């Protein structure tokens, strides 16, 4: 249904429906056409009704004249036989022959309002219903005016007709018709003609739709293409193939001449700012120095051994970074993330600006894709090394050093919560930024990937939100740590895709979990035994802790980090 409404009335853009030009033209045309026809038909009805009333009055006068003569003759008969009931009945029967309508009337009314004679298909009236009209008739009689037109009301209905005073009977003889009943046929004709007008108008509208759509077809095509550009925040060329030689086509040509320059500028602009900033600038036509608190997921990724890489590769490090970031950023955007900043080997991304409900899940999904990018790059470099070894036998010492430098490894830390997100700087130069404790925490969590030898470390906030969304991941509790600069400990987790957990890995995870419980409780000897049976690389740090040091006397299960 909504699709049909959009096709007829136009689609909504920013909450406002863009009505096609053809619909506006046809609507106005139809309204004016209907109004003019209805008004003409109504005027015609009123004029015809006036003529019909005049004609009816003439007929009523004729009927009343015949009834008057008959009543006079009956009075002469009554004078001789004194049969009043017979005379009244004869007058009523004679009048009934001329009554066609259900509410047609013939009355004989005395000056006191009593009805002596009544011919009608309605129930009999006892008194004349309109005393004001009756008084007027009496006053006219006193002025020697004994006949004329009459109108009166009874039970909310209006009657019109003619009257004539009969001196022998001392009665006002009235011949009348009920107005609505009299006008019923003309109203029926009016509405029949009105229906015909509507039908003809609809036919004309349908024909007009076809003709106007054909004449203005390129207006609709241009509008549709421009709406698509606005929705996708891009500018492209309008398709002018087959366009007629008119002013609409000229507007299309003028638009295309501007689109090339604007498209280039917009493309460049979107590469330097976050997508939500580009959308806001596109909608509001400006970027303000402002910000707001938002609940976001923060992803921080860093390249390990970057100093060695820069010393070895020199300026070629830029090529390697671009190769890695090109793929990684594509995945971040794929999962509705935006780049907060890139500083050399470190990248900050935020999730929740475009989709709030699944921000933590999308951040974790992007983290695994970033690891896949680094892994695929390492595999590609290893494959090239093997080809060189097959061809030449071995690499030189310098080549081996370069090979180790390009084996890109990254760590990813993810935290979430309320942060400040906005634009800071000045109106001369501004940047989009995210500020908050959770931003710093994401950076600290990334640093912990080096200590615990896992690719991704996330906070309890991320774990809870992801688990409320899906069961795709298993979150392995790593430790309770108090990072440098903080006074409280936080649980940290290593997410693993559930589908990748085989029997052997599950066994190692269970062994690590048992050791971690003993570690929290201060039974470091038991913890060390379990960590020693665990083949996971992350168990090594716990073997070192529990084997080299006794459990502290004030142990609370939280490990305080001495460095970032």
The string of pLDDT tens digits covering residues 494-532 is 999 999 999 999 999 999 999 999 999 999 999 999 999
Residues 399 and 488 in one domain: no
**Does 137 map to a domain?**
yes
Residues 62 and 166 in one domain: yes
Cα R_g (the chain), whole angstroms: 49
Section 537-558 average pLDDT: 88
Residues 437 and 525 in one domain: no
Q: What contacts 451, CB < 8 A, 6 or more positions away?
A: 541, 561
Q: What contacts 111, CB < 8 A, 6 or more positions away?
A: 134, 138, 170, 172
**Does 418 map to a domain?**
yes
Is residue 138 scored above 60 in pLDDT?
yes
Residue 432 sits in a domain whose CATH number is 3.30.70.1230
Residues 385 and 311 in one domain: yes
Both structure tokens of 21: 């030009």
**What is the b/e burial string over 166-175, where b = at least 16 CB atoms within 10 angstroms of the residue's CB?**
beebebbbbb
**Does 76 map to a domain?**
yes
Q: Domain of 535? A: 483-564
179-188, 262-271, 397-406: least confidently modelled range: 262-271
Residue 158 sits in a domain whose CATH number is 3.30.450
Residues 440 and 489 in one domain: no
**Does 542 map to a domain?**
yes
Residues 511 and 460 in one domain: no
The answer to whether 109 touches 128, Cβ cutoff 8 Å, is yes
**Does 527 map to a domain?**
yes
Residues 500 and 463 in one domain: no
Residues 113 and 49 in one domain: yes
Confidence of residue 41 (pLDDT cuts 50, 70, 90): low
Domain end marker among 159, 186, 213? 186
pTM to 2 decimals? 0.56
Domain end marker among 151, 170, 186? 186
Question: If residue 13 lies in a helix (H) or strand (E), which one and from where to where?
Answer: strand 12-13
- Residue-level pLDDT at 316: 87
Residues 308 and 336 in one domain: yes
Domain end marker among 158, 186, 214? 186
Residues 297 and 437 in one domain: yes
Residues 361 and 509 in one domain: no
Both structure tokens of 225: 């293409």
Please give the tally of structural domains in the chain. 3
Backbone angles phi, psi at 177, to 5 degrees: -130, 145
Spacing of C-alpha 208 from chain mean position: 31
**In this structure, how many other beta carbons lie within 10 angstroms of the beta carbon of residue 141?**
15
**Does 193 map to a domain?**
no
The answer to whether 134 touches 151, Cβ cutoff 8 Å, is no
Both structure tokens of 494: 């290593």
**In this structure, how many other beta carbons lie within 10 angstroms of the beta carbon of residue 441?**
23
Residues 466 and 489 in one domain: no
**Does 439 map to a domain?**
yes
pLDDT digits (tens, 9 = 90+) for 357-413: 899 999 999 999 999 999 999 899 889 888 888 888 888 888 888 888 888 899 999
**What is the b/e burial string over 55-74, where b = at least 16 CB atoms within 10 angstroms of the residue's CB?**
ebbeebbebbeebbebbeeb
């Amino acid at each position: 249904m909504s699709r049909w409404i959009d096709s007829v009335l136009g689609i909504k853009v920013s909450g406002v429906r863009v009505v096609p030009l053809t619909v506006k033209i046809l609507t106005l045309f139809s309204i004016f056409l209907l109004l003019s026809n209805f008004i003409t038909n109504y005027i015609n009805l009123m004029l015809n009704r006036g003529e019909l009333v005049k004609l009816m009055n003439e007929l009523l006068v004729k009927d009343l004249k015949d009834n008057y003569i008959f009543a006079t003759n009956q009075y002469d008969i009554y004078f001789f036989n004194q049969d009043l009931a017979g005379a009244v009945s004869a007058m009523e029967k004679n009048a009934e022959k001329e009554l066609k309508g259900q509410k047609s009337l013939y009355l004989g009314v005395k000056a006191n309002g009593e009805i002596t004679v009544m011919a009608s298909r309605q129930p009999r009236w006892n008194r004349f219903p309109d005393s004001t009209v009756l008084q007027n008739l009496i006053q006219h009689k006193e002025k020697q005016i004994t006949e004329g037109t009459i109108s009166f009301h009874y039970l909310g209905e209006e009657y019109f007709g003619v009257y004539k005073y009969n001196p022998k009977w001392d009665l006002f003889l009235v011949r009348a018709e009920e107005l609505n009943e009299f006008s019923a046929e003309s109203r029926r004709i009016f509405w029949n003609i009105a229906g015909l007008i509507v039908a003809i108008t609809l036919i004309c509208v349908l024909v007009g739709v076809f003709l106007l759509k054909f004449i203005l077809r390129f207006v609709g095509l241009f509008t549709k293409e421009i709406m698509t550009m606005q929705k996708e925040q891009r500018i492209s060329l309008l398709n002018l193939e087959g366009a007629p030689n008119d002013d609409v086509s000229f507007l299309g040509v003028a638009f295309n001449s501007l689109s090339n320059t604007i498209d280039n500028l917009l493309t460049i602009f979107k590469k330097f700012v976050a997508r939500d900033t580009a959308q806001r600038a596109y909608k509001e036509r400006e970027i303000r120095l402002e910000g707001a608190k938002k609940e976001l997921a923060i992803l921080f990724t860093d390249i390990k051994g970057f100093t060695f890489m820069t010393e070895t590769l020199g300026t070629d490090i830029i090529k390697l970074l671009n190769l890695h970031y090109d793929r990684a950023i594509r995945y971040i955007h794929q999962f509705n993330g935006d780049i907060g900043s890139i500083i050399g080997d470190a990248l900050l991304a935020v999730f929740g600006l475009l989709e709030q409900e699944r921000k933590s899940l999308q951040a974790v999904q992007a983290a695994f894709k970033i690891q896949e990018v680094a892994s695929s790059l390492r595999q590609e470099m290893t494959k090239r090394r093997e080809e060189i070894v097959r061809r030449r036998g071995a690499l030189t010492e310098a080549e081996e050093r370069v090979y180790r430098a390009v084996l890109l490894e990254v760590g990813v830390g993810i935290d979430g919560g309320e942060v400040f997100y906005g634009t800071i700087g000045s109106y001369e130069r501004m940047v989009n930024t995210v500020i908050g404790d959770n931003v710093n925490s994401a950076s600290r969590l990334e640093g912990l990937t080096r200590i615990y030898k896992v690719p991704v470390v996330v906070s309890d906030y991320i774990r809870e939100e992801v688990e409320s969304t899906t069961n795709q991941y298993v979150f392995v509790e790593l430790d309770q740590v108090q990072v440098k600069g903080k006074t409280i400990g936080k649980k940290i987790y290593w997410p693993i895709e559930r589908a990748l957990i085989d029997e052997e890995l599950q066994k190692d995870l269970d062994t690590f979990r048992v050791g971690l419980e003993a570690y929290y409780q201060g039974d470091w000897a038991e913890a060390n035994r379990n960590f020693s049976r665990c083949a996971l690389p992350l168990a090594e740090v716990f073997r070192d802790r529990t084997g080299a040091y006794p459990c502290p006397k004030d142990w609370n299960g939280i490990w305080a980090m001495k460095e970032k």
